[in-house]
Structure 1
Amino acid sequence: MLHVLRRGVRCFEVATAAPGWRPAEDVVWVDLLKPSREEELAVEAALGVELPTPEEMAHLEPSSRLFQEGGATFLTANILARSGENTPTVEPVTFVLVRGVLVTLRYQDLRAFSVFADRAPQNDVGSGTAAFLGLLDAVTERLAEILDHTEDAVEAASVAIFQRPPSGNFQPLLKDLARAQTVTSMTRQSLVSLARLLSYAGLAPEIAGDPDCQAHLVSLQRDVQSLTEHASFQSTHVSFLLDAALGLINIEQNGIIKFFSVVAVVFLPPTLVASIYGMNFDLMPELHWRYGYPMALVMMVASAVLPILWFKRRGWL
C-alpha cells in the first residue's frame, strides 16, 4: 500500500503506483506499507533509489543498515511491533531521505506510524526531514508508553508475589513476568537500534546543515539513552521477581516435604511398637499382662511426642 503526505494537506492520500508515477512537488512523505513489487518499482523509478527487499532488510549486517548512496541516506532500524498481542516481534523499518522527501518501507503495521500520520497534518510538517524527525519522536514516545505499561504490569506482579496467600497459584504470575521480560527485552533492542540510527542520521545532508534539526536529533538521542537505561533497569527488576517467585515456590515445596518428613518420623516409632506387639508370640510376657495394652499405647504416644519435642529443640519446626 502506497500513502503520500503532502505539505499543507490534512490527511494521508492513497497513491496508485501506475507506470510513470511521480510524486507531486509538495509531497514530504511516501509511506510504503506491505508494498507490491509494482509499487516498489514505481517509487524507485520516481526517486532514483533502490529500495531493499524484505529479505535484505531482515538480514542486513549492522554495518549495512546505515549508508548513503546516490545522494540518498538509508537508515534501517528494528522496531517493536504487536506489543499488545501474545506474540510481539521486532520488525525492520527502512527510512530513506532523498531530495527532501522521506520514504519509509515497512511490512508491519506500527502504531507509532499511525499516530504520527494522524497528527502530522495538524503540525504542518513542511519537509521530509521534519517528517523523519517527527516520526522518530512518535516511535520513541510509543516505546516509552510500552515501557510504562509493562512497568505497571511488573509492579502489579511484584505486589501479588509478595502478598499472595501461601496457597495461591504462581503460574499466572510467572506467565505475566515472562511476557513482561520479553516485551522489555524487545523494547530495549529497538532502543539500541534507534540509537545507532540517530548517531548516523546526523551525517545526512538534510540534517547536518540545519542547526534546528541537529538540536532535535540531540534531544532524541538523550531520550533514547534514558529509555534504554530504564529498560535495562526494568529487565533487571523482572529477573529479580522471577528469581523471587521461584525461590518462594522452592520454600513452599520444602515446607511441604518437611511436613511429610516429620509426619513419617512421628509415626515410625508407634508403627515399630505396634509391629512388635502385633506378633502374638505366646512367650511374650506382656500378652497376658493386665496392663500390657495400656503400656503399649503409652509407648506409642511417647515415641511420637519425643521426636516432635526434639525437632522443636533443634529448631527444625
Structure 2
Amino acid sequence: MLNLLRRTARGFVPQTVDADWRASDDAIWIDLVNPTAEEERAVEEAYGLDLPTREETKHLEPSSRLYQESGATFLTATLLARADEPHPVATPVTLVLANDVLITIRYEPLKAFTIFAERCAHAPVADGGEAALELLDAIVERSAEVLEQQSNLVHETSVAIFNRPPSTAFGPLLSDLARAQSITSTARKSLVSLSRLSSFAALAQEFQKDEGRRGHLTSIQHDIQALTEQSSFTSGHISFLLDAALGLINIEQNSIIKFFSVVAVVFLPPTLVASIYGMNFDLMPELKWAMGYPWALVLMVISGVAPFIWFKKKGWL
C-alpha cells in the first residue's frame, strides 16, 4: 500500500500504482506499508533511489542500517508493533530523507504512524524534514505510553504478589510479568535503535541547514535517553518481582512439605505400637490382659504427642 501526503491536501491520499504513476511535485511524505515490488520500483524510479527490501532490513547489521546514498539519508530502526495485542512483535522501519521528501517503509501497523497521520490532517507540515521530526516525536510518545502501561501493570502485579491471600495461584501473576518483560525488553531494543537513528539523522541536510530542527532533534535524543533509562528500571523491577514470586512459591512448597513430614513422623510411633500389638503372638501378656486395649490406645497417643511437643520445643513448627 502506498499513501501520499501532499502540501495542498489534509491527510493521506491512498495511491494506486501503475505504469503511469508519477510522484507529485508537492509530496511531503510517502508511506509504503508492506509494499509490493511494483510500488517500491515506482518510488525508486521517481526519486532515483535504491530502497532496501524487507529481507535486507532484517539482515542488516546495526551499523549498516544508517547510511547516505544518492544524496538521500537512509535511517532504519527496529520498532515495537502490536503492543496492545497478545503477541507484540519487533519490526524494521526505514525512513528515507530525499530532497525534502520523507519516505517510510514498514511492514506492520504502527500506532505512532496513525497518530501522526491524524495530526497532519489538522496541522500540515512544511516538508519531509519537519515530517520526519514530527514522526519521531510520535514514535517516542508511543514508546512512552507503552512503557507507562507496563510500569503500571508491574506496580499492580507487585501489590498483588505481596498482598495476595495464601491460596491465590501465582500462574496469572507470572504470566503478566512475563508479558510485561517481553514488551519492555522489546521497547528498550527499539529505543536503543532510535537513539542510533537520531544521532545519525543529524547528518541529513534537512536538519543541518536549520538550527531549530537540530535543536528539535536534540530534544528527541534526550527523550529517548530518558525512556531508555525508564525501560531499564522497569526491566529490573520485573526481574526482582519474578525472583520474589519464585521465592514465595518455594516458601509455600517448603511449608507444605514440612507439614506432611511432621504428620508422617507424628503418626509413625502409633503405627509402630499398632503393628506390635497386631502380631497376635500367644506369649504376648497384654493379649490376655483386660486393660490391654486401653493401654495400647494410650501408648499410641503418647507416642504421637511426644514427637509433636519435641518439634514445637525445637521451633520446627
Residue in 2 that maps onto 1:294: 294
Deviation at 1:168, TM superposition (A): 1.0
For residues 119 and 133 of structure 2, what CA distance do their matches in structure 1 show?
14
* Helix, strand or coil at the partner of 1:121: helix
Q: Per-residue displacement from partner, 1:169-220 (whole Å, max 9, x unpaired)?
A: 1111111111010000100000000000011000111112211111001100
Residue in 1 that maps onto 2:283: 283
For residues 208 and 294 of structure 1, what CA distance do their matches in structure 2 show?
101
* Helix, strand or coil at the partner of 2:50: coil
Residue in 1 that maps onto 2:96: 96
Contact 1:20 1:46 in 2 (8 A): no
For residues 39 and 287 of structure 2, what CA distance do their matches in structure 1 show?
102
For residues 241 and 261 of structure 2, what CA distance do their matches in structure 1 show?
30
Residue in 2 that maps onto 1:258: 258
Question: Could you tell which deviates more after superposition, 135-144 or 150-159?
Answer: 150-159
Residue in 1 that maps onto 2:201: 201
For residues 66 and 268 of structure 1, what CA distance do their matches in structure 2 show?
74
For residues 63 and 189 of structure 1, what CA distance do their matches in structure 2 show?
15
Residue in 1 that maps onto 2:35: 35
Q: Any residues of structure 2 matched to 1:132-171 within 5 Å, and which?
A: 132-171=132-171
Amino acid at match of 1:189: K
Q: Per-residue displacement from partner, 1:66-121 (whole Å, max 9, x unpaired)?
A: 00001000000000001111211100000000001000011111110011001113
Residue in 1 that maps onto 2:54: 54
For residues 50 and 17 of structure 2, what CA distance do their matches in structure 1 show?
16
Deviation at 1:23, TM superposition (A): 2.1
Deviation at 1:8, TM superposition (A): 4.2
Q: Per-residue displacement from partner, 1:38-75 (whole Å, max 9, x unpaired)?
A: 11111000011010111001111111100000100000
Contact 1:66 1:76 in 2 (8 A): yes
For residues 121 and 8 of structure 2, what CA distance do their matches in structure 1 show?
7
For residues 144 and 7 of structure 1, what CA distance do their matches in structure 2 show?
29
For residues 111 and 20 of structure 1, what CA distance do their matches in structure 2 show?
32
Contact 1:8 1:126 in 2 (8 A): no
* Helix, strand or coil at the partner of 1:283: coil
Runs (4+) off by over 3 Å: none
Residue in 2 that maps onto 1:124: 124
* 1:215 counterpart = 2:215: yes
TM-score of the two chains, using structure 1 as the length reference:
0.98
Residue in 1 that maps onto 2:109: 109
Residue in 1 that maps onto 2:187: 187
For residues 8 and 170 of structure 1, what CA distance do their matches in structure 2 show?
57
* Helix, strand or coil at the partner of 2:254: helix
Amino acid at match of 1:197: L
Deviation at 1:123, TM superposition (A): 2.1
Residue in 2 that maps onto 1:75: 75
For residues 82 and 51 of structure 2, what CA distance do their matches in structure 1 show?
24
For residues 123 and 244 of structure 1, what CA distance do their matches in structure 2 show?
49
For residues 10 and 63 of structure 2, what CA distance do their matches in structure 1 show?
37
TM-score of the two chains, using structure 2 as the length reference:
0.98
Contact 1:154 1:238 in 2 (8 A): yes
For residues 216 and 277 of structure 1, what CA distance do their matches in structure 2 show?
92
* Helix, strand or coil at the partner of 2:153: helix
For residues 293 and 147 of structure 2, what CA distance do their matches in structure 1 show?
72
For residues 218 and 158 of structure 1, what CA distance do their matches in structure 2 show?
36
Deviation at 1:161, TM superposition (A): 1.0
| Superposition CA RMSD, Å | 1.0
Deviation at 1:124, TM superposition (A): 2.1
* Helix, strand or coil at the partner of 2:29: strand
* Helix, strand or coil at the partner of 2:149: helix
Deviation at 1:19, TM superposition (A): 2.6
For residues 22 and 47 of structure 1, what CA distance do their matches in structure 2 show?
10
* Matched length: 317
* 1:66 counterpart = 2:63: no
Residue in 1 that maps onto 2:313: 313
Question: Could you tell which deviates more after superposition, 15-24 or 283-292?
Answer: 15-24
For residues 11 and 68 of structure 2, what CA distance do their matches in structure 1 show?
30
Unaligned runs of 5+ in 2: none
Unaligned runs of 5+ in 1: none
For residues 11 and 218 of structure 1, what CA distance do their matches in structure 2 show?
27
Question: Could you tell which deviates more after superposition, 145-154 or 129-138?
Answer: 145-154
